[in-house]
Amino acid sequence: MLWIPIDRSLDIPLIRQVYQQIREQILNGHLHSGEKLPSTRELSSELKVSRNVILEAYDQLLAEGFLVSRRGAGTFVAAGAFLEQHKKVPVFHSSDEREENRKEDPVINFRSGIPSLDLFPRKTWAKLSHATWNDTSPSSFGYDIPEGRPELRQVLSRYLLKTRGVHCHPDQIVITSGATQALTLVSKLLLTPNDTVIMEDPITNDIQTIFKDSGALLYPVSVDEYGMKTSLLPINQNPKFVFITPSHQFPLGGTLPIQRRIQLINYSRKTNCYLVEDDYDSEFRYEGPPVSSLQGLEPERVLYIGSFSKILSPALRMGYLVLPSHLIEKCRKLKWFSDLHTPSVDQLILARFIDEGYLERHITKMKKMYKNRRDFLIHCLKITFSDKVNIFGYSTGLHLIVEWNELHFSKELLEHIQQFGVKVYSVEDHTIEKGKHQNRIILGYGHLKNEEINEGVIRLHEAIYNY
């Protein structure tokens, strides 16, 4: 008799349990080609289950070709269904289990770039979402244009001109699934293998990876407290573009002054290259007036990238790419073959959110709260570490940089610190040329409450002075 253990405590239906176990025995060769299976009556009686359970399991296996039925003779294992060295699928933790593990994780994580997710404007978003789903025409639920909904692009062009000094027609905007897709589109749009890309150093690892995966050669230019040192731009290179974060350099936090912006534009004109501007964290500026975009100075040479991941939520996966007019059509084709288009209804909700003034009100509210958290983190660091640390890069964004005079954050030290229940990140991990920033760490604070910030700094102090 065929041995099939049945477990009625499982959530898996009995039909599925019978089907899976017979299928597995055929694939791994325990049931051989031509071997006769018990009748449905016999197997249902043996397993103490309804005959319909066995009938449906057999029917599924017959449909998939694992079994053959011979009139008057019975049901047999089909030829050619044995898979040599077949292995069971490894067991993975479900997403629910992983989420639960994250909730129980006691580590205070100073990861940068995470907004305060608990303050996402849920009620407003839900209200606009309900209205959009009710009001939107049926055509909006079909396949859409790759560059994004005209409603969002029109609203966005007005918003960017008002808040960032970006000069563009709505047709120059391509809506993307976050800044990562925008960067990927830029690499496909401009790069071929062995092309040179000039980049700030340090700069986030993810961006380096995207450009390197396109076959580009990265040429690093050092940064200081004012951003990229444009005086170091190479005269013997012909780059495809210079990648720059002028409003808030990541990770060191500098803002590029007008003199360096002009140097950068003159360099791009001389070498006939593009400038790719990632307007990272520009909305949350705490010291001085807002800084205008680089794109506003040279619209036909700058590709401008923005995202709503830090303003609102990474879960929205909504960003945008503003292009010089001559690159629009090629980028639309690339976007189409990337994912057809970004979800249309989400774009319509976001368009209403911006157009009705909710985005600006949300930014104003969050800016005050993030400034409070930034000030509290600086206070905790000064109280705890006194004059042993230098703090900089805090005028904008959701993180700051802490520098020790006589401490190198090696992999071993970072792991040691995490054993004390706090996770911090080395600037050195984001460098192209190694060895210049080993004494600096990045502390993100946007997602942490003041009590977590205070406890995290205390744990960091304990870890460092017990190393």
pLDDT tier at 101, thresholds 50, 70, 90: very low
Q: Report pLDDT for 6.
A: 87
pLDDT tens track for 192-205: 999 999 999 999 99
Q: Report pLDDT for 94.
A: 55
- Please tell me the CATH code under which domain 102-117+361-464 is placed: 3.90.1150.10
Q: Report pLDDT for 4.
A: 87
Higher pLDDT: 101 or 106? It is 106
Alpha-carbon distance of 96 to 94, in angstroms, equals 5
pLDDT tens track for 142-188: 999 999 999 999 999 999 999 999 999 999 999 999 999 999 999 99
Mean pLDDT calculated for residue range 428-435:
95
DSSP-derived pairing of the beta strands 74-77 and 440-444: unpaired
pLDDT tier at 21, thresholds 50, 70, 90: very high
Mean pLDDT calculated for residue range 437-464:
97
Mean pLDDT calculated for residue range 66-74:
91
CATH 1.10.10.10 fits 14-77, yes or no: yes
pLDDT of residue 283 exceeding 80: yes
- Please tell me the CATH code under which domain 121-359 is placed: 3.40.640.10
Q: Whose structure tokens read 């230019």?
A: 221
SS3 content of the chain, % helix, strand, coil (to 5): 45, 15, 40
pLDDT tens track for 352-408: 999 999 999 999 999 999 999 999 999 999 999 999 999 999 999 999 999 998 899
First-to-last alpha carbon distance for the chain, in angstroms, is 64
Q: What percent of the chain has pLDDT over 70?
A: 95
pLDDT tens track for 285-335: 998 777 899 999 999 999 999 999 999 999 999 999 999 999 999 999 999
Alpha-carbon distance of 426 to 415, in angstroms, equals 11
Alpha-carbon distance of 86 to 334, in angstroms, equals 39
Spans of all domains in the chain: 14-77, 102-117+361-464, 121-359
Q: What percent of the chain has pLDDT over 90?
A: 83
> In whole numbers, what is the pLDDT of the chain averaged over residues?
92
Do 14-77 and 121-359 show the same overall fold? no
Q: Count of CB atoms within 10 A of residue 330's CB?
A: 14
Burial of 355 (0-12, 13-18, 19+ CB in 10 A): middle
pLDDT tier at 10, thresholds 50, 70, 90: confident
pLDDT of residue 447 exceeding 60: yes
Q: Report pLDDT for 93.
A: 56
Q: Report pLDDT for 5.
A: 86
Q: Report pLDDT for 91.
A: 57
- E strand map for 102-161: 108-109
pLDDT of residue 103 exceeding 60: no
Contacts of 109 by beta carbon, 8 Å cutoff, 6+ apart = 422, 423
**Sign of the alpha-carbon dihedral angle for 401, 404, 405, 409:** negative
